[in-house]
Structure 1
Amino acid sequence: MTHISSSNPIPVSPALAENNPPASLPPGGGESRGRLLWVCALAVMLGLLAGPVAKLLLMLIDLFTQLFFFARLSFAPATPVDHGLGGWVIAVPVLGGLVIGLMARWGAKAIRGHGIPEAMEQVLTNESRIPARITFWKPLSSAISIGSGGPFGAEGPIIATGGALGSLLGQLLHISASERKILLAAGAAAGMAAVFSAPVSAVLLAVELLLFEFRGRSMVPVALAAVTATGVRYVLLGTGAVFSMAAIAPAVPSALAMYAALGLLMGVLSVAVTRILYWIEDGFERLPVHWMWWPALGGLAVGLAGYVEPRVLGVGYELIQSILNVKLAVGTLAFLCLMKFLAWSIALGSGTSGGTLAPLFIIGGALGACLGLLISEALPGWGVDPGLAALVGMAAMFAGASRAFLTSVVFAIEVTHQPNALLPLLAGCAMAYLLSTLCMRTTIMTEKITRRGVMVPAEYDADPLAQITVEQVYSRSPVSLSRAQSLARVRAWLLEDSVQSHHQGFPVTDETGHLRGVLTRRDLMALEIGGDTPVGDLIRRAPLVVTPEHTLREAADHMVRYDVGRLVVVSGDRPDQLIGMLTRSDILKARRRRLEEGDRRPGGLMKAR
């Protein structure tokens, strides 16, 4: 350690001593554990709320279905398929679209769309702050949209509502943006778990689409919220499979290959579905009418499709059940797939309020069942199960469109209670994901916000800075100053000693060698300060320090938090004992190692091949 000493020590005044408070270390783990417990408790609270909220949303959908299609005020379960309106059914979705347009214009514009992209945007750009009014307007608008025949599922709105509820709770409690993001994801996962009794896939959905990280302190609260919401669902709706189907036998190799090929086809179709959806949305943007009227125009397309095929109206969970159990003929499945796609894509492109999960399941499931039936009849020895083909088609379509790969696989198993479907689902969803990644830069969830300039993380890597300690990179020969030195002496030394010209910060110690602060070159060369001033009098705040045991991530966060470019390295058991310095350039050098590892070219053997 290089130390510039003074031949005439200057006594330290009481005021100077007061200007040297204890050194500031990065936050320790104790506080983080306490905060984690608090966030977990809040997540459990969200899980308890999600069950009743999901039940209330389903009841609202039934209420508006009864009102729009049967002119009854009742919460009894109802489906638009059984209506007796004849040609008047075309007007019902138009009326619902008019109501949605008015609600979006005079209530909250954010109710437009299926909710997940909007939640992603708030996470990425607005510190996970969703306006409180969305907690009310989103479920109400979705219930009206679906109840008037909108071809959407309830999962998108309840995920958006749960996320808004979590964000609102975080805003009321004034917690950090990171904790608020966790609560938003916990609320969304709780909502999905409450609707589908699928806690594991709900956690995975939160990780893949909302958290944008894979860390235990984020996933544990989300998992607790999902588990709690599922427990509430068990009490309210029972523990059975959401979509029950006949038992599936393990797939033989030939069938497994066919399911992989089916996934590849679904990947192509998922790209086409996404591009057509946004092409329709762009078409509505070019219409010479105010966007408030677009949902009514979309409702006209829904009404016409519903007049031709009533089963495309509404949530469609009964239709998914029929598809998985192969109760429909090939021609019927193909026609249903086409009509559902037209009604859903035009309605969603018009900016109405609704979800994407159930429609994608119906489209993918119907196509999968069609191909499964055709292959099983043409090649009976291949062992293809049409019901399993429908399930693979459902999951692969969602995996390709959303790139929520793990969510798609686990969700299909959780809602059907069919563990033997795991291998076919893995094969099909992997192929759909691969094809989608190769052909499309964005997804059905991210295209809208990407157009607004919001960059969405697509891959999650371990932070290399969290894997390197300060011990590995810090400078062990810092140049320090004595607090009793005169400013004139230090200035002269800086000007005449070219060896030290590259240093921008200098730790300051007292007569006993204990750390008292850090001064920058700018502090020392300030013209308004006289040369007789001891350098110790220039210290204005506690020294910012790290220990060799801290990670570079903790050190970098400490630098950013206090807007500094260097930290003093001190002994772990003696926070006032100077042992080195850590600068931004030291951290960048460590980061360069990771880049060099990724940039390495294949060796001679690989080149020969």
Structure 2
Amino acid sequence: LVPLVVATAVAGGMHSALFGSGPLFGVPSHDFAGLDVLPAFALLGLAAGILAVVISRGLFLVEDLYRKLPVGDFWHPVIGAVGFATVGLFVPRALGVGYDAIDDVLNARLAVSTVAALALAKLLAWWLALGSGTSGGTLAPILLISSSFGTVVGAGLNEVLPGPDPGVGAFAVVAMAATFGAAAQAPFTAIVFVFELTRDYDVILPLMLATVLADLVYSSVNRDSLMTEKLRRRGLHVGRHYGVDPFTNATVGDIMTADVEVFDHTATLGEARTRFAQAHHGAYPVTEGERLVGIVARGDVMRLDDAGDDELLLDHATRQVVTVSTSDTAQSALRIMVDEHVEHVPVVDHDHGLVGICTRTDLLKVRRRQLELERRQDGAAARHFSMRRRHRRKEPADDPEPT
């Protein structure tokens, strides 16, 4: 977090020094007249979520269609360039980065029909270009497409819904944040980002409402964001759900096996062979009194074909043992198992006395507890909802007034 904050502060300071401190898009102030306009922006948020789904799925559909063409990958950008240029012949402002067009849309300088054509043309041109595998961005195209979409939807809502008219420019600003936040699965980033672009504080409440609703619509349909879908198709799954890692909350003392079978330091190799043949444990600690002095694994013993049964087991045990304490987290034990390629980690006290052992099975207890807790919470929520529904059904109707 600290490097992120420092980098952001430095970048913001440099941008202000080089380009000034004004907003990227100058928009007029909007008066939202209280709660009356929020239903319209809620509908806009739902529509923006649908638009985000269309943007994402359409892009990857176009990518798949390119792969089905009977030509080599080399020709895909060529075909995309031809399609991109063709769209530009009919709607020239769909070409380029589009910041000037975004500014015109946000300030309601264009007719609604022109904005609608611009949105469709930009969407098609972006699909054809980026889907072909050529280099290109996502931010500016999504901002232009979504702001134009917001203008069209806002104009329609102003005709249908009663109440004050905040202006189509306000719908354009809100649609930018809602669509980008949903497609990127970063709603709070989009809220702050668009606010920084416009510096219009009056828009912040409908901005938040529409963005979270758009994110809800998108996440109920798409598992990955526009940015991570590409990685998933390449086999890299990036999680977007946040929560506390249960392995960092559980300690080794909570999950370890305290009743540990051990070998005494005087045990022989023959005793070890017999026990490994009869039991299913993969390793045993070797102790001298209560003190841990080594650990021996099944593979270590089975590889000693030439060693006699009378030889001391300790001479063939691993003496440099990686250990954990009862206060260490389960995450620490898991990391040791992964790094050291072991399945058992002895647990010792401050005097290096053996107090238990932590195995892979013990670590699975952490995840099992988390799943049981989630099931109980889900079950409690479902029971609460069901009881509320039954209670509502049993409520007697009001007695009619006598006539």
TM-score normalised according to structure 2 size: 0.87
The DSSP-based 3-state class of the residue aligned with 2:232 is helix
TM-fit CA distance, 1:383: 4.3
**Aligned pair 1:520/2:290, yes or no?**
no
- AA aligned to 1:287 is L
**454 and 492 in structure 1: CA distance in 2 versus 1, 3 angstrom threshold:** closer
Distance 1:434 1:519 in 2: 53
Residue matched to 1:566: 344
Residue matched to 1:585: 361
Cα RMSD, aligned residues only: 2.4
Judge conservation of contact 2:295–2:318 (CA < 8 Å) in 1.
Answer: no
Judge conservation of contact 1:247–1:418 (CA < 8 Å) in 2.
Answer: yes
Residue matched to 2:6: 224
Residue matched to 1:46: none
**Aligned pair 1:372/2:154, yes or no?**
yes
Distance 2:86 2:276 in 1: 82
Residue matched to 1:148: none
- AA aligned to 2:306 is E
TM-fit CA distance, 1:540: 3.3
Residue matched to 1:440: 222
- Runs (5+) with no aligned partner, structure 2: 390-403
Residue matched to 2:370: 594
- Runs (5+) with no aligned partner, structure 1: 1-218
Judge conservation of contact 1:375–1:384 (CA < 8 Å) in 2.
Answer: no
Of 379, 393, 397, 2:175 maps to 393
Greater RCO (Cα-Cα under 8 Å, separation 6 or more): 1
Judge conservation of contact 2:269–2:310 (CA < 8 Å) in 1.
Answer: yes
Distance 1:254 1:273 in 2: 30
**478 and 286 in structure 1: CA distance in 2 versus 1, 3 angstrom threshold:** closer
Q: Structure 1 vs Structure 2: percent identity of aligned residues?
A: 37
- AA aligned to 2:266 is A
**255 and 341 in structure 1: CA distance in 2 versus 1, 3 angstrom threshold:** same
Distance 2:3 2:319 in 1: 37
The DSSP-based 3-state class of the residue aligned with 1:382 is coil
Distance 1:528 1:481 in 2: 21
**492 and 452 in structure 1: CA distance in 2 versus 1, 3 angstrom threshold:** closer
Residue matched to 1:556: 334
TM-fit CA distance, 1:356: 1.2
- AA aligned to 1:597 is L
**Aligned pair 1:328/2:110, yes or no?**
yes
Distance 1:222 1:442 in 2: 24
The DSSP-based 3-state class of the residue aligned with 1:381 is coil
TM-fit CA distance, 1:350: 2.0
Judge conservation of contact 1:252–1:383 (CA < 8 Å) in 2.
Answer: no
**462 and 318 in structure 1: CA distance in 2 versus 1, 3 angstrom threshold:** same
Residue matched to 2:401: none
**Aligned pair 1:418/2:196, yes or no?**
no
The DSSP-based 3-state class of the residue aligned with 2:353 is strand
Residue matched to 1:487: 269
The DSSP-based 3-state class of the residue aligned with 1:445 is coil
TM-fit CA distance, 1:485: 2.9
Residue matched to 2:324: 546
**359 and 251 in structure 1: CA distance in 2 versus 1, 3 angstrom threshold:** farther
TM-fit CA distance, 1:466: 0.8
Residue matched to 1:505: 283
Residue matched to 2:120: 338
Judge conservation of contact 1:548–1:570 (CA < 8 Å) in 2.
Answer: yes
- 1:11-38 superposed Cα distances (whole Å, 9 cap, x missing partner): xxxxxxxxxxxxxxxxxxxxxxxxxxxx
Of 263, 268, 281, 2:50 maps to 268
Judge conservation of contact 1:258–1:384 (CA < 8 Å) in 2.
Answer: no
Q: Give matches, 1:201-350, under 5 Å.
A: 219-249=1-31, 252-350=34-132
Residue matched to 1:141: none
Judge conservation of contact 1:372–1:384 (CA < 8 Å) in 2.
Answer: no
Residue matched to 2:245: 463
